[in-house]
Structure 1
Amino acid sequence: MTSTPLITDPTPDERSKHARSFGLPIATALVMGNIIGGGIFLLPASVAPYGTISLVAFGVLTAGAIALALVFGRLARRHPLTGGPYVYAREAFGDFAGFLAAWSYWITTWVSNAALAVAAVGYLDVLVPVQDNKATTIAAALALQWLPALANLAGTRYVGAVQLTATVLKFVPLLLVAVGGLFFFDSANLGPFQAGDTSAVGAVSASAAILLFSYLGVESAAVSAGEVRDPQRNVGRATILGTLGAAVIYLLGTLSVFGLVAHDRLVESSAPFSAAVNTMFGGSWGGTAVACMALVSMVGALNGWTLLSAQTPYAAAKDGLFPQVFTHKRRGVPTYGVLVTVVLASLLTVYNYTAGPEGVFEVLVLVTTFTATVPYLLSTAAQIYFLASGRHDRVDRPRLVRDAILAVVAAAFSLWLVAGSGYAAVYQGVLFLFAGVLVYAWMSARKNRA
Structure 2
Amino acid sequence: MTITIPPRDTTSDTIATVPGGQSKHARRFGLPIATALVMGNIIGGGIFLLPASVAPFGTVSLVAFAVLTVGAIALALVFGRLAERHPRTGGPYVYAREAFGDFAGFLAAWSYWITAWVSNAALAVAAVGYLDVLLPLHDSKPATIAAALLLQWLPALANLAGTRYVGAVQLVATVMKFVPLLLVAVGGLFFFDARNLGPFEASGTGTVGALSASAAILLFSYLGVESAAVSAGEVRDPQRNVGRATILGTAGAAVIYLLGTLAVFGLVPHDRLSESAAPFSDAVNVMFGGAWGGTAVACMALVSMVGALNGWTLLSAQTPYAAAKDGLFPAVFARKRRGVPTVGVLVTVVLASLLTVYNYTVGSEGVFEILVLVTTFTATVPYLLSTAAQIHYLASGQAHRVNRARLVRDGVLAAVAAGFSLWLVAGSGYAAVYQGVLFLFAGVLVYAWMSARKADAA
Structure 2 equivalent of residue 305 of structure 1: 312
SS at match of 1:297: helix
Distance 1:265 1:142 in 2: 28
Question: What is the Cα deviation at residue 131 of structure 1?
Answer: 5.4
Question: What is the Cα deviation at residue 172 of structure 1?
Answer: 2.0
Structure 2 equivalent of residue 249 of structure 1: 256
Distance 2:253 2:205 in 1: 29
Correspondent of 1:71 among 53, 78, 81 = 78
Distance 1:350 1:187 in 2: 40
Within a 5 Å distance, the mapping from 1:235-246 to structure 2 comes to 235-246=242-253
Distance 2:279 2:367 in 1: 28
1:322-365, Cα deviation, whole Å (9 max, x unpaired): 11111111111111111111122223333334444499998666
Does 2:293 correspond to 1:294? no
**More displaced, 291-300 or 278-287?**
278-287
Structure 1 equivalent of residue 166 of structure 2: 159
Within a 5 Å distance, the mapping from 1:343-362 to structure 2 comes to 343-357=350-364
SS at match of 1:21: coil
Does 2:288 correspond to 1:281? yes
1:263-313, Cα deviation, whole Å (9 max, x unpaired): 455455554323321222222224323322331222111101100010000
SS at match of 1:42: helix
Distance 1:379 1:59 in 2: 23
Distance 2:80 2:217 in 1: 26
Call closer, same or farther: CA 1:399–1:434 in 2, change over 3 Å. Answer: same
Distance 1:419 1:50 in 2: 17
1:433 aligned partner, one-letter code = L
Does 2:420 correspond to 1:421? no
Structure 2 equivalent of residue 8 of structure 1: 7
1:23-77, Cα deviation, whole Å (9 max, x unpaired): 1111111111111222323333444455544322221110000000000000001
- Which TM-score applies when normalising by structure 2? 0.90
Does 2:124 correspond to 1:125? no
Q: Give yes or no for contact 2:213–2:428 (8 Å, CA) kept in 1.
A: no
Distance 2:368 2:210 in 1: 29
Question: What is the Cα deviation at residue 111 of structure 1?
Answer: 2.1
Call closer, same or farther: CA 1:53–1:383 in 2, change over 3 Å. Answer: same
Structure 2 equivalent of residue 81 of structure 1: 88
Structure 1 equivalent of residue 192 of structure 2: 185
Distance 1:394 1:146 in 2: 48
Distance 1:247 1:241 in 2: 10
SS at match of 1:240: helix
Distance 2:207 2:353 in 1: 43
SS at match of 1:330: coil
Q: Give yes or no for contact 2:76–2:247 (8 Å, CA) kept in 1.
A: yes
Question: What is the Cα deviation at residue 118 of structure 1?
Answer: 3.0
Structure 2 equivalent of residue 234 of structure 1: 241
Within a 5 Å distance, the mapping from 1:192-341 to structure 2 comes to 200-263=207-270, 265-267=272-274, 269-341=276-348
1:150-179, Cα deviation, whole Å (9 max, x unpaired): 111111110000011111111222111101
**More displaced, 215-224 or 285-294?**
285-294
Call closer, same or farther: CA 1:262–1:397 in 2, change over 3 Å. Answer: same
Distance 1:279 1:358 in 2: 27
Distance 1:258 1:307 in 2: 33
| CA RMSD between the two structures | 2.6
SS at match of 1:229: coil
1:402 aligned partner, one-letter code = R
Call closer, same or farther: CA 1:313–1:395 in 2, change over 3 Å. Answer: farther
Structure 2 equivalent of residue 100 of structure 1: 107
Distance 1:310 1:407 in 2: 27
SS at match of 1:333: coil
**More displaced, 68-77 or 198-207?**
198-207
Structure 1 equivalent of residue 390 of structure 2: 383
Structure 1 equivalent of residue 16 of structure 2: none
Question: What is the Cα deviation at residue 423 of structure 1?
Answer: 1.0
**More displaced, 282-291 or 16-25?**
282-291
Distance 1:117 1:442 in 2: 33
Q: Give yes or no for contact 1:190–1:259 (8 Å, CA) kept in 2.
A: yes
Distance 1:27 1:161 in 2: 11
Distance 1:173 1:358 in 2: 28
Distance 2:394 2:222 in 1: 25
1:5 aligned partner, one-letter code = T
1:98 aligned partner, one-letter code = G
Structure 2 equivalent of residue 146 of structure 1: 153
Q: Give yes or no for contact 1:418–1:426 (8 Å, CA) kept in 2.
A: yes
Q: Which runs of 5+ in 1 are unaligned?
A: none
Call closer, same or farther: CA 1:75–1:260 in 2, change over 3 Å. Answer: same
Question: What is the Cα deviation at residue 146 of structure 1?
Answer: 1.4
Q: Give yes or no for contact 1:387–1:394 (8 Å, CA) kept in 2.
A: no
1:195-214, Cα deviation, whole Å (9 max, x unpaired): 67776545534443442332
Within a 5 Å distance, the mapping from 1:21-100 to structure 2 comes to 21-100=28-107
1:83 aligned partner, one-letter code = G
Does 2:437 correspond to 1:430? yes
Q: Give yes or no for contact 1:177–1:256 (8 Å, CA) kept in 2.
A: yes
Q: Give yes or no for contact 2:197–2:270 (8 Å, CA) kept in 1.
A: yes
Distance 2:116 2:82 in 1: 21
**More displaced, 175-184 or 124-133?**
124-133
Call closer, same or farther: CA 1:165–1:358 in 2, change over 3 Å. Answer: closer
Q: Give yes or no for contact 2:121–2:356 (8 Å, CA) kept in 1.
A: yes
Distance 1:227 1:410 in 2: 26
Distance 1:33 1:298 in 2: 9
Distance 1:196 1:430 in 2: 27
**More displaced, 288-297 or 327-336?**
288-297
Call closer, same or farther: CA 1:9–1:295 in 2, change over 3 Å. Answer: closer
Call closer, same or farther: CA 1:445–1:335 in 2, change over 3 Å. Answer: same
Q: Give yes or no for contact 1:386–1:394 (8 Å, CA) kept in 2.
A: no
Distance 1:378 1:17 in 2: 36
1:346 aligned partner, one-letter code = S
